[in-house]
């Protein structure tokens, strides 16, 4: 699955549903009661303070309806910004060279999460700013700012930007995505279909809290990663990527990332849980990249090797049908120091069976840290061997 966006050229509150439902009932009652009151007399129109104005012809009553949703949006929407990816258009090689300026290559959204020392920091999706030569930020009031990309991470689809904070008035508060429950109300704020619909608001509920979505990062038709996401039925459309998924207390509990866009599918939007995103955001802000552990080998799924070759070339037992083949070992790496060699077949890590590159990657990235010692079992020439590998940093 890829990402669904528009990156192609061109004060705590409770009772969320109770207040909203009460507002709906009040609206229904207003229509039911006031409409029959039309007369041929002068119109009675009521403003916010309840004063009556008269307009010749009809009688009508207007009122300002506020709910917890409108209050939350008013308090938080200014922290959601537009993000524009600027790239220089590729020139026709058969035409004379001309000077060109960077043009809009795609748009998305971002969330201002911090102000410090004259700068404001914004989290968005990696795929929103991927390939950008310049990045522009558009605030809720239309102010446009130049942004610096501090860091991006393709695996988690997150990026962090920095802008001068002179015009920044609102900073989002992160919530706790670990306590979310299915059915909990949420609000999505972003810029669907670009800046034309900036600050759009949709509402819904948490449909699921622990969803794993396969991601094909390099678009080669193979699954590279399993993204852990929140599922919501709040509408998420192209351009919403990088925007905020907010709970009823006005806290950001997810970064909107993608939706399942299939003809038979309706209302499945996905967001990166904020508890998962927070340490990634910190690394991108302070280091420009995410520190991840590495064995120091290039690898290939055993499943891609014909069964005949597994026995004739690798001398594997007939019952070994999954694992990871070591194609090469980097000199000076933890794998090299431990003694791993080309054509070793990794089948177990820290006592857990690993049958694919994806499983190996998930074990390393989710369960280990740089400096840890990894216990690895491999088949070499038909013999099962065990190695202890010290994990080093890979950026």
68, 77, 109, 127: the catalytic one is: 127
6, 241, 257, 356: the catalytic one is: 241
How large is the angle between the packed helices 68-76 and 16-34, nearest 10 degrees? 120
Looking at 243, 273, 303, which one is the last position of a domain? Answer: 273
- Asked if residue 355 is part of any domain, the answer here is yes
Looking at 229, 246, 273, which one is the last position of a domain? Answer: 273
- Asked if residue 368 is part of any domain, the answer here is yes
Band of residue 65 on the pLDDT scale cut at 50, 70, 90 = low
The CATH number of the domain holding residue 353 is 2.30.42.10
Ranking 51-60, 114-123, 230-239, 288-297 by mean pLDDT, the lowest is 51-60
- Asked if residue 145 is part of any domain, the answer here is no
The CATH number of the domain holding residue 225 is 2.40.10.10
- Asked if residue 239 is part of any domain, the answer here is yes
pLDDT in tens, 241-266: 999 999 999 999 999 987 655 555 56
pLDDT at position 66? 63
Looking at 242, 273, 304, which one is the last position of a domain? Answer: 273
Q: Which domain holds residue 307?
A: 292-394
- Asked if residue 126 is part of any domain, the answer here is no
Are 344 and 389 in the same domain? yes
Active site residue 157: yes
Tell which phi-psi region holds residue 380, choosing left (phi > 0), alpha (psi between -120 and 50) or beta: beta
- Asked if residue 234 is part of any domain, the answer here is yes
157, 165, 283, 344: the catalytic one is: 157
- Asked if residue 164 is part of any domain, the answer here is no
pLDDT at position 98? 59
Band of residue 94 on the pLDDT scale cut at 50, 70, 90 = low
Are 248 and 318 in the same domain? no
Are 353 and 312 in the same domain? yes
Active site residue 241: yes
Active site residue 141: no
Are 203 and 241 in the same domain? yes
In angstroms, rounded to a whole number, what is the distance separating the alpha carbons of residues 272 and 292? 19
pLDDT in tens, 174-226: 999 999 999 999 999 998 766 666 778 999 999 999 888 888 887 777 788 88
Query: Domain total for the chain?
Result: 2
């Amino acid at each position: 699955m890829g990402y669904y966006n528009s990156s192609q050229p061109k004060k705590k509150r409770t009772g969320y549903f109770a207040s909203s439902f009460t507002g709906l009932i009040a609206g229904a009652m207003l229509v039911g009661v006031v409409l029959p009151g039309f007369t041929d007399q002068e119109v009675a129109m009521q403003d916010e303070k309840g004063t009556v104005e008269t307009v010749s012809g009809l009688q009508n009553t207007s009122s300002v309806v506020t709910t917890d949703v409108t209050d939350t949006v008013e308090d938080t929407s200014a922290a959601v910004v537009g993000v524009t990816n600027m790239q220089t258009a590729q020139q026709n090689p058969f035409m004379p060279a001309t000077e060109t300026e960077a043009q809009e290559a795609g748009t998305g959204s971002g969330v201002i999460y911090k102000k410090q020392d004259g700068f404001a920091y914004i989290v968005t999706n990696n795929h929103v700013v991927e390939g950008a030569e310049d990045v522009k930020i558009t605030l809720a009031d239309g102010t446009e700012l130049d942004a610096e990309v501090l860091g991006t991470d393709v695996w988690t689809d997150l990026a962090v930007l920095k802008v001068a904070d002179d015009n920044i008035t609102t900073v989002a508060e992160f919530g706790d995505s670990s306590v979310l429950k299915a059915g909990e109300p949420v609000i999505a704020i972003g810029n669907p279909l670009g800046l034309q619909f900036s600050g759009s608001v949709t509402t819904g509920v948490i449909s699921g809290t622990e969803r794993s979505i396969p991601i094909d990062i390099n678009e080669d038709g193979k699954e590279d990663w399993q993204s852990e996401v929140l599922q919501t039925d709040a509408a998420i459309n192209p351009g919403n990527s990088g925007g905020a998924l907010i709970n009823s207390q006005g806290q950001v509990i997810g970064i909107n990332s993608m939706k399942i866009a299939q003809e038979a599918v309706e209302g499945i939007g996905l967001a990166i849980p904020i508890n998962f995103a927070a340490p990634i955001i910190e690394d991108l802000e302070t280091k420009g990249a995410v520190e991840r552990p590495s064995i120091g080998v290039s690898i290939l799924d055993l499943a891609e090797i014909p069964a005949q070759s597994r026995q004739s070339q690798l001398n594997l037992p007939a019952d070994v049908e999954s694992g990871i083949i070591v194609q090469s070992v980097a000199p000076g790496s933890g794998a090299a120091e431990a003694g791993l060699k080309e054509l070793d077949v990794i089948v177990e890590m820290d006592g857990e069976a690993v049958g694919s590159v994806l499983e190996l990657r998930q074990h390393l990235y989710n369960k280990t840290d740089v400096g840890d010692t990894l216990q690895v079992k491999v088949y070499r020439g038909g013999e099962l061997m065990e190695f202890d590998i010290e994990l080093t940093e890979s950026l």
